[in-house]
């Protein structure tokens, strides 16, 4: 039988994949993708807990996470386009303009 | 242990769970490791479709549909439109910082994650705040809770989406007539060809 811990383990694995992506990538668009992966992992955990405790609160939180992810992508991509116009690249090391 | 695994593979739910988890983990690994933006974006989109499969198994039908519509429909479309501004077909050259640091940090966070999941909780003491009702569809249940208990956060989220939309338009809309990826010399060549005619 599939229990709550199965879902939590899958969610933790996917979250770690996203975390490794955030730590490893230097391209800003790839950082966004890794963030989406982490948000999705958390959504799985919320939905699983909501199912196994027979409570709707987890699903509600997942809805708001999806809404926040949507607005984050809208603003973030706008900023990425402005950065690309200014610097011609999305590499984090090129954007380190505040290095002393 | 192994018998348990084989028995759960025989049920529909167990088979779907293992299939979806293996596929999503593989696809998200491709997303994180790939050097090509196009590959990583397509694998991210298909991984999100499979995650909505998890929601359907868990009985959260409405959440699964929202995942399909918002994530796969809207967010991935936004990403693919944004990719037209950047040169997406080129491979990304990244200077990877020391791998040892990444693995130490990743290992430490994995340790914290394991400690968090292994921490004892009083699961008996947890009571459902908004319990699901038998015989009522998931969408109906979600709607009732969303429009009574979570009405204010819902409206705030609506305002937040509006603000994000305006911010996106203003940030991306400046100098929209200039091309970002095409180099300017290509335009000159076209002009020269025209002059020769």
Considering the domain boundaries, does residue B114 fall inside one? no
**Of the ranges B27-41, B86-100, B111-125, B173-187, which is most confident?**
B27-41
pLDDT at B183: 57
Could you list the residue range(s) of the whole structural domain that residue B51 is in?
2-91+137-196
Q: Are A60 and B68 in contact (CB under 8 A)?
A: no
- Asked if residue B69 belongs to a domain, the reply is yes
* Residue pLDDT, tens place only, A37-93: 999 999 999 999 899 888 888 899 999 999 999 999 999 988 888 888 887 777 777
* Pick from A51, A70, A85: CB nearest B74: A70
For residue B61, give the H/E element and its range: helix B61-66
Tallying the residues shown for chain A, one arrives at: 100
Task: Kindly state whether residue B38 falls inside one of the protein's structural domains.
Answer: yes
Residue B191 lies in a domain: yes
- Give the pTM: 0.83
Indicate the helix (H) or strand (E) that contains B194.
helix B184-196
Rounded Cα–Cα distance for residues A21 and A5 (Å) = 24
**DSSP state, residue B75:** I
Q: Is the Cβ pair A84, B85 closer than 8 Å?
A: yes
pLDDT of res. B174: 74
Nearest-CA distance A64 → chain B (Å): 7
Report yes or no on B166 lying in a domain: yes
Q: What does the pLDDT read at residue A41? A: 93
**In a domain? residue B162:** yes
Confidence of residue B172 (pLDDT cuts 50, 70, 90): confident
Specify the fold of A4-87: Helix Hairpins (1.10.287)
- Looking at the complex, report in whole angstroms how far the Cα of residue A30 sits from the nearest Cα belonging to chain B: 7
Q: Which residues from B are below 8 Å from A91, CB to CB? A: 94
Give the chain B residue nearest A23 (alpha carbons): B102
Q: What ipTM, to 2 d.p.?
A: 0.91
Task: Return the CATH number at B12.
Answer: 1.20.120.1200
In a domain, B143, yes or no: yes
A65 interaction partners in chain B (CB closer than 8 Å):
none
Does B99 map to a domain? no
């Amino acid at each position: 039988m599939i229990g709550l811990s199965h879902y939590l383990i899958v969610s933790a694995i996917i979250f770690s994949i996203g975390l490794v992506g955030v730590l490893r990538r230097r391209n800003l668009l790839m950082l966004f993708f890794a963030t989406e992966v982490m948000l999705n992992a958390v959504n799985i955990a919320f939905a699983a807990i909501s199912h196994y405790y027979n409570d709707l609160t987890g699903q509600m939180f997942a809805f708001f996470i999806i809404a926040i992810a949507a607005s984050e992508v809208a603003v973030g991509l706008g900023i990425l386009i402005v950065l690309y116009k200014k610097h011609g690249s999305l590499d984090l090391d090129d954007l380190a303009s505040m290095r002393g | 242990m192994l018998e348990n695994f084989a028995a759960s593979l025989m049920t529909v739910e167990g088979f779907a769970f293992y299939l979806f988890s293996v596929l999503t983990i593989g696809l998200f690994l491709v997303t994180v490791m790939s050097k090509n933006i196009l590959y990583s974006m397509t694998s991210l989109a298909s991984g999100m479709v499979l995650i909505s499969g998890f929601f359907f198994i868990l009985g959260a039908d409405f959440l699964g549909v929202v995942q399909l519509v918002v994530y796969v429909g809207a967010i991935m479309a936004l990403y693919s439109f944004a990719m037209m501004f950047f040169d997406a077909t080129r491979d990304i050259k990244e200077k990877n910082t020391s791998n040892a640091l990444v693995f130490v940090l990743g290992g430490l966070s994995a340790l914290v994650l394991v400690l968090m999941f292994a921490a004892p909780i009083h699961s008996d003491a947890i009571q459902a705040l908004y319990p699901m009702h038998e015989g009522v569809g998931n969408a109906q249940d979600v709607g009732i809770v969303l429009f009574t208990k979570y009405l204010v956060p819902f409206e705030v989220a609506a305002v937040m989406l509006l603000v994000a939309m305006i911010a996106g338009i203003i940030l991306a809309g400046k100098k929209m007539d200039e091309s970002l990826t095409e180099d300017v010399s290509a335009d000159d060549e076209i002009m020269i060809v025209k002059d020769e005619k």
